[in-house]
Structure 1
């Protein structure tokens, strides 16, 4: 009788322990895990700068040639690229090699692009300085283009400061922007991609990173500040 009682007690204990483990495993994750002031204040340890600091660093320097990448730097142009992918190659990136897509993108689809506020501030600052403004893009060149006019209108660039868009194109294993930055004697170049920063550095220019918006169709997002370059705060929009 005592053996039976001990056996039943052991079985009950085992069942209780197992039930506790199951209950713990199936318990839902808390909805509110909480945070601290230190976590909220944490920033990536990179070289952050503001537009005002960039302007201050250029004080006393004569007017110069400055350059901007276009997509994800001055324009949030994902709507046009999204439409191009859906239209020409829903299951791949092949649309980027399709001349028909570039004809559309360079001749009207930027009407759906959203000018970035950081670009408004930067361009206004450089116009005030009297700098010559260039746009150097990796887009493929087309017979005609309305991108130059769109940018000039969006950012209120006077004709004296504005230069036609340079379509550097995309070639495997080559940074196509480098030669153009050198040819135009560009001293400061703004861009969101690694190639923008390395192109500037290759010619001894100052490469400054603009953050790519997190909802951009251009993935993966680059690691801003990875080269030790300056990164503009609040530049994702």
Structure 2
């Protein structure tokens, strides 16, 4: 589903890691972990096609337009933009061929799934951080993307929001979606994911989560 061949990325022609070779199968669920500034978010942007790699190549089994869903960190969103929560979530249907009635039904179901039905008329600036994060996740859930790139999706979520998120992660995996999740929540990673990619300046290691967590301190000191 996703293949990285001698991939290098980073700012100003300065590669953040040695070349990465990685193959992720369809319906795989992978965490990306590492120290701040090691290139986790940049890697997602390169896979999404938002940034160009410095070297190497990425092959995707789906087209980036419509086939890849990207959840950026929340601070990249303009909270002053004059849009209601319901309109923000409905943007996930922009490529949908469904009738207007069916689109409305899917929108209402997504709002209900994420506990947002009573908030759909609120402006973005009137939302809490957790409410906005659930809205962004609800928008993503309405897309037909088969590859989901999630940059710190647990940010600002309370206990209920986290439970909803991990329920959807399991649902997306059962639907055959390939997911890459950047996270600093080691507890959730070890509880919900089997494999992780450790990103460090000394190199990237793909391995079972438990194995990587045992070496996390030494690798982050290098990063």
TM-score, length-normalised on structure 1? 0.28
Q: Which one has a larger percent strand, Structure 1 or Structure 2?
A: 2
Bigger relative contact order, structure 1 or 2, given CA contacts below 8 A and separation 6+?
2
